[in-house]
Amino acid sequence: MNIIEVKNLTRDYEYFEKDPGLKGAFKVLFSKKKRKKRAVNELSFTMKKGEFIGLIGPNGAGKTTLIKMMTGIIKPTSGSVQVAGYTPSQLKNDFKKKYAVVMGQKSQLWWDLPAIDSFHLNKEIYQINEADFNTRLEHLIELFDVKDCLNQQVRKLSLGQRMKMEIIASLLHGPEILFLDEPTIGLDVIAQKQMRHFLQKINSETGVSIILTSHYMEDIKHLCDRVIIINEGQKVFDDEYNQLLKNNGDFKILHVTFDDLEDFTDTVEGEILSKAPYKVSVKLPKSKVNGFIRSTFEKYAIDDISIEDEDISDVIEKIYKERTNTHEEIS
């Protein structure tokens, strides 16, 4: 069952072109040249109930515009979008209870009040009955381990604690869809790992469908079964995460540790990424990996060898360059 259906979705923004300087400011008063820029370009996809999708792309790719259309904040120029059976732009009250949005750089909590007060405010806004509210709140407090800081002012919480509270607040009304926009931004490595663990549990235990935007590829790697890549308003990839590397990764990274060879001096049909005493890291085309391993084992005493995929960021950058047309600009 599809919880989201997006078909040929397009969004254009209008703006006025202005020449630089004071002369340009006066000129625009009498002669305005209107332009339209296409932020989302005939984009289509579906999402099944319970899926965890990573929505990625560079800054300005159209991710936020797409989320705003799926939540009804802005109307599409053309095309259609259905979320949980509703047309978002109609902004029906029942629809607003079907989703939640958490943005890493914007807070929905009252800054000078304890988080628990914001939770009770959400209870009234979403008209959550007492039993459901208490059950969900107790479960989420235990899951995120935040009991000791519920009565602390939000502005005095650490960034990691605040993000936990943001997610708790978004889940109290039992949404079917959760939109997460950079939820781990600014968090340290340990807090990021904890947040990923919590989000996995939320998805598996409650069945909430999640769309995650993030520039941290570790978030995408560990959380998302499926990845949608957009660039300049167009969808350039939509498949399982594993297929992203399998079909688009051209290289492998090999780390070799030697028993008695202090300095590796051989030439390789690839790129030597780093060298240290008794160790070398090499980036090779996939077709050259077997030959390199065979010849290395024949020539040297090997203590250890490991193989990993190339950096996911490099793969995604290649997809951007190969599969994206330019923005459409209309006079």
- pTM for the model stands at 0.81
Provide the pLDDT for residue 96.
Answer: 92
Quick: pLDDT tens for 185-231. Answer: 878 888 888 889 999 999 998 899 999 998 888 888 889 989 999 98
Nearest-CA neighbor of 66 among 6, 129, 128, 138? 6
Residue 247: C-alpha distances to residues 239, 252, 315 (Å): 10, 13, 10
Pick the CATH number of 2-246+321-330 from 3.40.50.300, 3.40.50.740, 2.40.70.10, 3.30.420.140: 3.40.50.300
Q: For the chain, what percent of residues have pLDDT higher than 90? A: 51
Top-confidence residue, 45 or 314: 45
Quick: pLDDT tens for 252-279. Answer: 999 999 988 878 888 888 889 998 889 9
Quick: pLDDT tens for 198-208. Answer: 999 999 988 99
Quick: pLDDT tens for 82-112. Answer: 999 999 999 999 999 999 998 766 778 898 9
Q: Please, are residues 228 and 235 in contact by the beta-carbon 8 Å criterion?
A: yes
Provide the pLDDT for residue 165.
Answer: 92
DSSP 97: T
Which residue in this structure is represented by tokens 């939820």?
183
Sheet holding 234-240, edge to edge: 99-103, 177-181, 209-213, 52-56, 226-231, 234-240
Residue environment code for 133-142, b if the CB has 16+ CB neighbours within 10 A, otherwise e:
beebbeebbe
Q: Please, are residues 84 and 176 in contact by the beta-carbon 8 Å criterion?
A: yes
